[in-house]
Amino acid sequence: MLTKAKIKYIKSLQLKKYRQQEQCFLVEGEKNVIEFLTSDYQVDIVAGVVEMLQKHSAKLITSKSKIYEVNEKLLSDIGSFKNNNSLIAVVQIPKAEQKIEYNTKLNLVLDDIQDPGNMGTIIRIADWYGIENIFASITTTDIFNPKVVNATMGSLTRVKVRYTNLEKLLSEYKGEVYGAYLAGNSIHEVNFAEAAMLVIGNESKGISDSVEKYISKKITIPRYGGAESLNAAMATAIICDNISRKS
């Protein structure tokens, strides 16, 4: 049975302050929870309705998680979902890797992405296109925010996201560095290098001046209609698709 203290602890993980303090985060929904249970992440707690616990009993038995049977109302109360009729989990934040290793193909670089939905979707896009590494500025939104985790739909278990000093990262990188801009070389005409960094900027301000000086080629998605811009996640998907087709 979940005690009041345990319930308070789980609810507190919705806030970054307590995620950092406890070095744990929330995962919600059947698909997400099962993805983390079958990954290298350490899942401390799983709470769920009886039907879900029975359905996934084999995976739960082999995990080291503490299992709690709860009703739908309590599941919704302790998580960020308005309605949750399946599972919720408390997962340990892995220790940050000190050594930075570049993918031999495409690496994503996120310069101050703020919207959790954008962040989660970009991680999911990276997973779709087989991009293993994302490098994010220190000011980029927290990947363990529940909204980010939910938007990744489990892709966070397969994509490495490292927060780092982008100026230092890019100054030491020897390959091509592409930057997404509203004005630049059309992605339909660029001969993309196999190994490269793709920089995506802030939703409203774009790529910062401090990062721009390391961009070796500015690229853009040709516009044929009247829309002023694309959101960061949508632009990332379009650019990644063009790169993948030309590599």
pLDDT of residue 197: 96
Q: Average the pLDDT over each of 30-34, 46-50, 95-99, 222-226 and give the range with the smallest value.
A: 95-99
- Which homologous superfamily does the CATH classification assign to the domain defined by 106-246? SPOUT methyltransferase, trefoil knot domain (3.40.1280.10)
d(C-alpha 229, C-alpha 121), whole Å: 17
Domain with CATH 3.40.1280.10 in the chain: 106-246
Would the pLDDT of 103 be above 70?
Answer: no
pTM check: above 0.85: yes
The pLDDT confidence band at residue 1, using thresholds 50, 70 and 90, is confident
Q: Residue 2, Cα to own-chain centre: how many angstroms?
A: 29
- Which homologous superfamily does the CATH classification assign to the domain defined by 4-92? Ribosomal protein L30/S12 (3.30.1330.30)
Sorted by sequence, the CB contacts under 8 Å of residue 234 that are 6+ apart come out as none
DSSP string, 209-244: HHHHTT-SEEEE----SS-----HHHHHHHHHHHHH
Domain with CATH 3.30.1330.30 in the chain: 4-92
